[in-house]
Amino acid sequence: MSDDSPPDGDASDGGAPGVTFRDRDRLVRTPAHGVALDCLAAGIAAARPDRLIPSAVSVRDGTLRIEGSTTAAGADCAGEYDLADYDRVVLIGAGKASAEVAAALAGVLEGDDREFAEGVVVTEDPAERPSTAGVEILPGDHPVPSDAGVESARRVLDVVERAGPDDLVLAAITGGGSALLAAPADPISPDDLRELTEGLLACGASIDEINAVRKHCSAVKGGRLARSAAPATVVTLAISDVIGDPLDAIASGPTVPDPSTYADALAVLDRYDLDVPGSVRERLEAGAAGDLAETPTAGDPAFDRARAFVVGNGRTALDDAADAAAERGYEPLVLAAGVRGEAQGAGTTHAAIAEECAVRGSPAEPPTVLLSGGETTVTLGDADGTGGPNAEFAASAGLALAEGPLGGDGREDGDGDDGPRIVVASADTDGIDGPTDAAGGIADATTLDPDAARDALDRHDAYPLLDEAGSLLRTGPTGTNVNDLRAIVIEAADSEGES
């Protein structure tokens, strides 16, 4: 199958710049490897704020109009705001893509000769992010909160607490905001919050369970930021990194109602037998006993003048990845936008589906590209390996292919001259897979030594395994975060390889 399209996510229509995988020439061993990378890059680029915001937000004749996703549960689909009704337009934000959202929003406002009166967003590596007039870009850390993030969160709180009833507060909320916007509630210290976060991330709890705890240990999460901003008008623009786009789960929902309770948070600690700092349990038990105010729920006055829109999500990335596959002559099939569970199991399952396509032409006839989104997890237990869910997914899939019905070279006939028939690539759309510098990995049936792969996967040590094989994917920070994205390329049996 030939590929005459631009490599990676390069914009060929004058749109936003693309996403590039480092060492692409080395990674692209066959055309199938190139197609896999191109699909990932196209999906990631589509979910960047410089593409999303101009499509979703506009100002015409002094009216700000927002069009959100129609699939996000509980989110608003469209809204209009007459800017003449407000004394000031203020921006706050938190998350890995919040600075990029701020820059894109500023561009939209500038088109109508307007600007932010004041603003502050918290993100990683602010010196590497786009600057925006009138907006402070402050530091935080992910996935474990830092003292810098605590100080930055205090600045955000200061801005919203000074907002008045005639102000319009735009909240740029993106994935990663839970850790970046770190405001521990009394009596929890920043060190206690870090210890709690590390325990939650390692125990295998779901994102809903983790967020239930984090919200009730925070001064801003779970709608508390909206409560601080009232009675200002608050408009949330969210880029979702959570399966199903529940607003309360994106960055732990600082500006939206919270359905969880102190009792829910305590139940998570007990369910996973977590040994947490005494200050954490003290706060949660006091809240469960009714001694502390609950997070605001739907119907709370804090949300009388608040609305929320999801302007991008994992489906955004999947749609453009599918288009990239079709442009290259492959039939795209989206398996699911919400894959979850353990990364190893998901990798094995995806490999099995790909084999079924290759052998029986079902559920898709080769040449085809299977696509999926969502967010898998790695439960470390006592292991101390290095890697993230996407590296572990790719390594597991590569091992499964090597041991599967197509054999070590991926060909039914055992003739490996044309290269493997199946290539699996998986990446975190933010460019950071777990606590590593890689976005994910790419593998086929010949990439890994099965014995070494089994040993590494047993220790959750996929990063050095793929690194040694030259199969780690690196993009650097991408400026977005909409969960994981996976592309599995299945060539037809008579495909001719090209260099």
Query: Which stretch of 113-122, 292-301, 376-385 has the lowest confidence by average pLDDT?
Result: 376-385
**Where does 111-215 have alpha helices with state H?**
147-161, 177-180, 190-202, 207-215
Max intra-chain CA distance, the chain:
72
Contacting residues for 308 by C-beta, under 8 A, at least 6 apart: 74, 75, 76, 235, 236, 238, 247, 255, 256
To 5 degrees, how large is the angle CA 280–CA 207–CA 295? 50
Residue 499 exposed, middle or buried by CB count within 10 Å (0-12, 13-18, 19+): exposed
pLDDT band at 5, cuts 50/70/90? very low
Q: Which one, of 490, 71, 488, 491, lies nearest residue 321 by Cα?
A: 488
Smallest CA-to-CA distance from 141 within 198, 192, 191, 181 is with 181
Closest to 225 in 3D by CA, of 243, 206, 250 = 250
The two structure tokens encoding residue 456: 């590494």
Mean of pLDDT values over 98-119 = 93
pLDDT at 75 over 90: no
12 pLDDT above the threshold of 50? no
Predicted pLDDT of residue 202:
83
Distances from the Cα of 446 to the Cαs of 413, 422, 426, in angstroms?
15, 10, 17
* C-alpha span between 226 and 394 (Å, rounded): 40
Overall average pLDDT of the 4-29 stretch:
68
Which of 189, 184, 180, 252 has its CA nearest to residue 215? 252
**Res. 353: pLDDT tops 70:** yes
Q: What is the mean pLDDT of residues 404-411?
A: 66
pLDDT band per the 50, 70, 90 thresholds, residue 207:
confident
Q: How far apart (Å, rounded) are the C-alpha atoms in residues 418 and 489?
A: 14
Tens of pLDDT, residues 248-287: 999 999 999 999 999 999 999 999 999 999 999 999 999 9
Whether the per-residue pLDDT at 413 is higher than 50: the answer is no
Q: What 8-state DSSP symbol labels residue 430?
A: T
174-192 confidence digits (pLDDT tens): 999 999 999 999 999 999 9
Average pLDDT rounded to a whole number, residues 353-369: 97
What is the DSSP-derived secondary structure letter of residue 342? B
Stronger pLDDT, 369 or 493, i.e. the higher one: 369
Q: How many whole angstroms separate alpha carbon 97 and alpha carbon 252?
A: 15
- Cα-Cα-Cα-Cα torsion 97, 103, 109, 111, nearest 10 degrees, comes to -130
- Look at 496 and 108; give whichever has higher pLDDT: 108
Window from 156-170, 173-187, 194-208, 383-397 with minimum mean pLDDT:
194-208
Q: How many Å apart are CA 452 and CA 399, to the nearest integer? A: 10
Percentages of the chain per state (helix, strand, coil), in multiples of 5: 40, 20, 45
What's the CA gap between 371 and 38, in Å, rounded? 12
- Note if the pTM is more than 0.75: yes
- Give the β-pairing of 118-123 and 88-94: parallel
Tokens 């200050």 — which residue? 279
Residues 314-333: tens digit of each pLDDT = 999 999 999 999 999 999 99
Write down the mean pLDDT value for the chain.
91
* Identity of the residue numbered 222: G
State the pLDDT confidence band at 10, using cuts at 50, 70 and 90: low
Task: Check if the beta carbon of residue 245 is closer than 8 Å to that of residue 71.
Answer: yes
Is residue 116 a contact partner of residue 172, using CB atoms and an 8 Å limit? no
Q: Which of 231, 229, 199 is nearest to 213 (CA)?
A: 199
